C-alpha cells in the first residue's frame, strides 16, 4: 500500500482526505491538490509574554490573575492596546485564510 500521509500525519498532495460528519451520517471527500506551506507545518512558539500574577479581565466578570508566567487563564482576554505583542514577523499570511 502506498503512503498517503507524511511524517506529521498530514495528507500528501494528490491523495484524498475524507471528513465524516456523525450528526448527518455523511462523509465529504476532498482531493488535496497542493499544500501551500509545505515544510512549515510546525510552528515553534514560546510562552506568552505574561508575568505571573498579572490580573487579566474575564469574560465572566472581574479579573483573574495569571497563574504562572506565560500561561493565560481560561475566560480571560487581553484588552486592545494593553501592550501584548509578538516580535516575529512574516509568520502569518492572510491570503491563506478562508473566511466563511
Q: Is residue 99 part of a domain?
A: no
In a domain, 85, yes or no: no
* Domain co-membership, 2 together with 29: yes
Domain of 31? 1-35
What Å distances lie between residue 52 and 39, 65, 70, 100, CA to CA? 35, 7, 7, 37
Q: What's the total number of domains in the chain?
A: 2
Residue 42 domain-assigned? no
- For 82-94, write each residue's pLDDT tens digit: 767 666 666 656 6
Give tens-digit pLDDT for 10-69.
888 999 989 998 888 899 999 999 888 787 777 767 778 888 999 999 998 899 999 999
In a domain, 1, yes or no: yes
What does pTM read for this prediction? 0.42
Residue 96, domain member (yes or no): no
Amino acid at each position: 500500500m502506498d503512503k498517503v500521509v507524511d511524517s506529521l500525519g498530514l495528507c500528501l498532495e494528490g491523495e484524498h482526505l475524507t471528513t465524516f460528519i456523525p450528526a448527518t451520517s455523511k462523509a465529504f471527500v476532498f482531493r488535496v491538490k497542493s499544500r501551500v506551506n509545505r515544510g512549515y507545518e510546525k510552528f515553534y512558539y514560546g510562552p506568552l509574554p505574561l508575568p505571573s500574577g498579572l490580573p487579566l479581565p474575564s469574560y465572566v466578570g472581574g479579573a483573574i490573575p495569571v497563574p504562572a508566567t506565560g500561561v493565560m487563564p481560561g475566560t480571560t482576554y487581553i484588552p486592545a492596546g494593553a501592550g501584548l505583542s509578538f516580535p516575529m514577523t512574516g509568520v502569518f499570511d492572510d491570503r491563506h485564510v478562508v473566511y466563511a
